[in-house]
Amino acid sequence: MTRELPMDFTGGYCIPIDHNVEKNHPDCTWPRKPLALSSIMAIIHTPKHSKDSGQMKEHFASIISAIGEDLTRPGLADTPERAAKAFEFLTRGYQQKLDDVVNDALFPSDSNEMIIVKDIELYSMCEHHMLPFIGRAHVAYIPTGKVLGLSKVARIVDMFARRLQIQEQLTLQIAETVKSVTGAEGVGVIVEAKHMCMMMRGVEKQNSVMKTSAMLGSFRDDPATRTEFLSLVR
């Protein structure tokens, strides 16, 4: 008979954990150690970005020509320019700074109860195949004296989603950023998405959904807090 193991919802992964393996695998203990500050800063860092529409237009033209299409036909004549503009939009997160996104929208609050923003739509680009993945994020935190403006949670999700990404990293970026900005007691993030790189190519599975999570602070350390969050976003 197969024994169902509890799930580890930390660090952007959903991994079955068997606590009996601690003797041989001490790194598998619950809760896991929080990341070092240097690791956190690397996760939420915005790379230097200098957009070059002209260069992107040339490269898109080269790609279209390389597949054997005729760039002079009416339907494709303006496609390189349109594609370059679209790609700028899809990756505009590289041009955003966290300070501008948050815009000082932190407000004093006596609340110490869980705040959840559910079903935040997100659109991102897989960094492996540069194909879209589309889904939603659920973000929760427990404030310690200040709360973040409601729309800013969604804007933080967008800032990181609009970059070349993998879902595991995106989940952790959102969580670490919300914790850094708010000084929250704890943060929980769940992202669920469908990946075109798995649907349109390769294994071609149309109904698969990837779910990732990151639990920080009290969401990591306190089972009751974690359970409350998971029950509210189901």
- pLDDT by 10s per residue, the chain, length 234: 333 333 433 333 333 333 333 333 344 444 555 555 555 566 666 666 566 789 999 999 999 999 999 999 999 999 999 999 999 999 999 999 999 999 999 999 999 999 999 999 999 999 999 999 999 999 999 999 999 999 999 999 999 999 999 999 999 999 999 999 999 999 999 999 999 999 999 999 999 999 999 999 999 999 999 999 999 998
Residue 8: per-residue pLDDT: 39
Known catalytic residue at 121: no
Q: Pick the catalytic residue from 22, 69, 121, 127.
A: 127
Q: Pick the catalytic residue from 59, 81, 197, 228.
A: 197
The structural domains of the chain, ordered by start, are: 7-46+98-233 (3.30.1130.10), 53-92 (1.10.286.10)
Q: Pick the catalytic residue from 19, 45, 49, 128.
A: 128
Known catalytic residue at 28: no
Give 87-138 pLDDT, tens digit per residue: 999 999 999 999 999 999 999 999 999 999 999 999 999 999 999 999 999 9
Residue 12: per-residue pLDDT: 36
Residue 220: which H helix or E strand, with range? helix 218-221
CB-count exposure of residue 226 (10 Å: 0-12, 13-18, 19+): buried
Residue 21: per-residue pLDDT: 36
Residue 24: per-residue pLDDT: 39
Tell me whether residue 126 is annotated as binding: yes
Residue 46: per-residue pLDDT: 66
Tell me whether residue 14 is annotated as binding: no
What is each CA distance from 171 to 25, 35, 66, 101, 127, in whole angstroms? 25, 14, 36, 18, 15
Is the dihedral angle over the CA atoms 72, 78, 81, 82 positive or is it negative?
Answer: negative
**DSSP-derived secondary structure for 149-200:** -HHHHHHHHHHHHSSEE-HHHHHHHHHHHHHHHH--SEEEEEEEEEEHHHHT
Known catalytic residue at 169: no
The letter for the amino acid at 212 is: T
Residue 13: per-residue pLDDT: 34
Residue 220: per-residue pLDDT: 97
Q: 122, 134 in Cβ contact below 8 A?
A: yes
Tell me whether residue 28 is annotated as binding: no
CB-count exposure of residue 174 (10 Å: 0-12, 13-18, 19+): buried
Q: Pick the catalytic residue from 96, 165, 167, 173.
A: 167
Q: 53, 80 in Cβ contact below 8 A?
A: no
Residue 27: per-residue pLDDT: 42
Known catalytic residue at 126: yes
Angle at 169 between CA 20 and CA 157, to 5 degrees: 125
The three-state secondary structure class of 8 is strand
